């Protein structure tokens, strides 16, 4: 018991473990995730539809989207952006490693007579050979990646862009980091059986890495016969740190916004978005 509690409360090195697949591809949690994506009242997996409509309108106008425009939507989930962008005439490729979300996305595309190329893949490994005018990574997914993974992804983006092609992504700001607190708790069947249909105890350890500006929500899920640990890392950025990563990957002409709906950059906000060429 003592040793188990020690393991549960162990604070790993920043990004020591990557378990995004447990969060996004586990057979049970994917069902829960999809329901969150599609529930306007829960902004846990996607933003609400009013915001997404506004965001897509801005993307189409800012990037002058036409039926010549090739867009890659990384981490497209159930296709909430892909579908809207395709309806506006863009040629869209959506990449995701949640089979469940992609199945939903494909069904929606079929029902709405939209031709969208959905690719089932881990975007950190997968090589897309086509070239794009715009690559999106929306809902702060960039923050879940380690510095090494982010460098790989930006290099990949750069190789996939047409001349003058652009990347649009959003991140958590340091305003969010400041209010983080280290704490530990546990709960029976935490989040309404989010982690399993069977009974479990979930230990929740929130860790903060002051120097690296990283936060970790570590979940230790203890069922009758199994234990699994899920690490939800988040890197928090100030504009200079984010721009530095883009510059190192060979991008230029960075522009900051409050969000992916193109509102003016607001330094007091908990997130911000970047466009880089």
Ligand X SMILES: C[S@@+](CC[C@H](N)C(=O)[O-])C[C@H]1O[C@@H](n2cnc3c(N)ncnc32)[C@H](O)[C@@H]1O
Site for ligand X contains 139 (CB under 6 A): yes
User: Cβ closer to ligand X: 77 or 165?
Assistant: 77
Question: What residue number has its CB nearest to ligand X?
Answer: 75
CB burial of 25-55 (b: ≥16 within 10 Å; e: otherwise) equals bbeebbebbbebbbeeeeeebbbeeeebebb
DSSP state of 84: H
Using CB under 6 A as the binding rule, whether residue 123 contacts ligand X is answered as yes
243 CB-contact burial (10 Å; exposed 0-12 / middle 13-18 / buried 19+): middle
Q: Is 24 in the site for ligand X (CB under 6 A)?
A: yes
H or E segment to which residue 73 belongs: strand 70-74
| Span of 53-61, 76-84, 194-202, 218-226 interacting with ligand X by CB under 6 A | 76-84
Q: Verify binding: residue 138, ligand X, rule CB under 6 A.
A: yes
Only one residue has tokens 């479990």, namely: 200
Count Cβ atoms below 10 Å from residue 143 Cβ, excluding itself: 21
3-state secondary structure of 239: helix
Q: Which x/- pattern, by CB under 6 A, does the window 88-107 give for ligand X?
A: -------xxxx--x------
Interface positions, 237-256, toward ligand X (CB under 6 A): none
Q: Exactly one of 45, 55, 86, 220 binds ligand X (CB under 6 A); which one? A: 45
How many CB atoms are located within 10 Å of the residue 118 CB?
20
Interface with ligand X by CB under 6 A: which range of 122-130, 177-185, 213-221, 226-234?
122-130
Nearer to ligand X, 123 or 209 (CB): 123
The reply on whether position 233 binds ligand X by CB under 6 A is no
Element (H, E) at 96: strand 91-96
Which residues make up the interface to ligand X (CB under 6 A)?
Answer: 20, 24, 45-46, 75-77, 80, 95-98, 101, 122-124, 138-139, 141
């Amino acid at each position: 018991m003592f040793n188990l509690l020690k393991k549960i409360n162990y604070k790993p090195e920043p990004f020591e473990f990557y378990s995004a697949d447990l969060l996004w591809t586990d057979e049970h949690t994917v069902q829960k995730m999809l329901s969150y994506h599609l529930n306007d009242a829960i902004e846990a997996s996607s933003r609400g539809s009013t915001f997404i409509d506004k965001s897509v309108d801005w993307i189409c106008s800012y990037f002058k989207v036409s039926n010549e425009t090739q867009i890659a939507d990384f981490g497209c989930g159930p296709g909430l952006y892909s579908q809207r962008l395709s309806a506006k005439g863009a040629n869209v490729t959506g990449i995701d490693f949640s089979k469940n979300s992609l199945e939903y996305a494909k069904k929606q595309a079929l029902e709405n007579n939209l031709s969208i190329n959905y690719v089932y893949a881990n975007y950190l490994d997968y090589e897309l050979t086509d070239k794009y005018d715009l690559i999106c990574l929306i809902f702060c997914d960039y923050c879940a990646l380690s510095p090494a993974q982010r460098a790989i992804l930006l290099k990949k983006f750069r190789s996939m862009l047409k001349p003058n092609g652009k990347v649009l992504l959003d991140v958590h700001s340091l305003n969010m980091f400041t209010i983080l607190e280290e704490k530990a708790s546990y709960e029976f069947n935490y989040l309404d059986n989010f982690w399993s249909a069977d009974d479990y105890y979930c230990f929740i350890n929130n860790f903060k890495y002051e120097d690296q500006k990283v936060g970790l929500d570590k979940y230790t899920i203890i069922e009758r016969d199994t234990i699994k640990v899920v690490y939800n890392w988040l890197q928090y950025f100030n504009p200079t740190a984010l721009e530095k990563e883009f510059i190192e990957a060979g991008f230029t002409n960075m522009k900051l916004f409050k969000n992916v709906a193109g509102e003016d950059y607001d330094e007091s906000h908990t997130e911000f978005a970047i466009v880089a060429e």
